[in-house]
Structure 1
């Protein structure tokens, strides 16, 4: 649980919502958030290392628990890709697996106690450290813009430059020259809405979940004596209940991000 600062709940939440940035970094969207980058890289490496080790030890006989878990995840993700995309899955399958597990692991950092990582980093002289990369809008937009680049790439790959340009200017209203500009504007809006919806949906849900954890930790850490212990106990219960419910949100948001990535790339292959 939390140790509330003298400034009260507002200062406590503001403190925990502050990212670790270099002194020369810009503010806002262009800021470099060292904490989000560090956590996401560490989780990505751990995910790759775990699956690489399980792949090396895989056997054709009765699988162990680790191999069985990996096979279940692989079959689940491959089934989702197969249901949506009917082309060559050699690239899209691993991409979907990476998106699903990486986002899930980043979301799962929200289950750690709010003050755990900041307490650890403070021992090394680091005052601010946020543990949930997907509660950082810079990180979710970075992932969604990567998906956006893949959408553009597969659109040109599947249709060619001429075919894709023809689609942008002639769909959905037709090929009449008077409709070229409305068609193009509508397609651009639709195209740009994809990364925005991906980023904002994931960020909004994870930011709200993180904020609820902070509110519970901050509210129920105030007080002294018997009342303080009662509040502390109520905070433990509230933290546990919200954590159990939040597990569902973590999995659903990772699944949605993966499915929408597959759907958007599949749509890039379709011809209008």
Structure 2
């Protein structure tokens, strides 16, 4: 990892924290990419776009890693043998058993969706987090040679990605709560506890706040940890070359635990929340 001598430290940090954004630029009344190249005319940054903007790098890497996950597991499943498994098959089976044990230990209802969903969440988030271990300048440098000014390769450092996953889980919570308990049962759960029918407004306030806090805390926990890790890698990249290796290697080794733990926590909380949605109170 090496920082450029042609930019200041603040510019270097800002560049690495900026997504490749495509959106509608109202000032020029056209669809534009974010840029800092004066040859493009007016410099356009993500804040210059309105609602109709998308982080192209987040979508590219998250969807690409999702396809990698599906391809890898499908190819291993097609070649699986009942005899002594190969290294890859053994590794995949270990992950599946690990996730299955967690589901069985937390979720005590019958729902064929929960285990595959938990496996997808754990592996997909782990792969996205794993991109944080790629040296900070490698992919942006390659992208720059192709004329692409920005490239963030860790989707979970983008709150749009983590909030998207968290709110998907939230909608499943609402869906299964209503499916298992009915609309009246779900509303009763929100309005009649913990204080009983005489405190319905207070109950609603507490329960609705608690319900909305689930996806927000789920998303911000993952985003905050990964963003902090990415920031430390960026700061290390600003140091002299010899100091980069002294600090980056120990931090990368420690960060392996962080990226695994964050994927695990997101998966476990998803199972817990969906188990609560199936429970009758």
- Partner of residue 169, structure 2: 147
Instruction: Give CA-to-partner distance per residue, 1:61-103, whole Å, 9 cap, x none.
Output: 1111111111100000000011110111411000000000000
Mind listing any 5+ residue stretches in structure 2 that lack a counterpart? Answer: 26-45
- Counterparts in 2 of 1:106-121, with a 5 A limit? 106-121=128-143
TM-score by length of 1: 0.92
- Partner of residue 226, structure 2: 206
The partner residue of 2:268 within 241, 256, 259 is 259
Does residue 75 of structure 2 align to residue 66 of structure 1? no
- Partner of residue 102, structure 1: 124
Q: 1:5 to 1:154 in 2, by over 3 A?
A: farther
- Partner of residue 184, structure 2: 162
Larger RCO (CA under 8 A, 6+ residues apart)? 1
Q: 1:48 to 1:21 in 2, by over 3 A?
A: same
User: CA separation in 2, counterparts of 1:235 and 1:29?
Assistant: 38
Task: Report how many residues are paired.
Answer: 259
Q: 1:189 to 1:23 in 2, by over 3 A?
A: closer
- Partner of residue 187, structure 1: 207
User: CA separation in 2, counterparts of 1:96 and 1:37?
Assistant: 21
Q: 1:29 to 1:233 in 2, by over 3 A?
A: farther
Query: Which is richer in helix?
Result: 1
User: CA separation in 2, counterparts of 1:216 and 1:76?
Assistant: 34
- Partner of residue 14, structure 1: 14
Kept in 1, the 8 Å contact 2:159–2:219? The answer is yes
Classify the secondary structure of the residue corresponding to 1:32.
strand
What displacement does 1:6 show?
Answer: 2.6
Does residue 106 of structure 2 align to residue 84 of structure 1? yes
Classify the secondary structure of the residue corresponding to 1:265.
helix
- Partner of residue 34, structure 2: none
User: CA separation in 2, counterparts of 1:206 and 1:106?
Assistant: 10
**RMSD, aligned CA:** 1.4
- Partner of residue 246, structure 1: 255
Mind listing any 5+ residue stretches in structure 1 that lack a counterpart? Answer: 221-230
Classify the secondary structure of the residue corresponding to 1:139.
helix
Structure 1 stretches of 4+ with a deviation exceeding 6 A read none
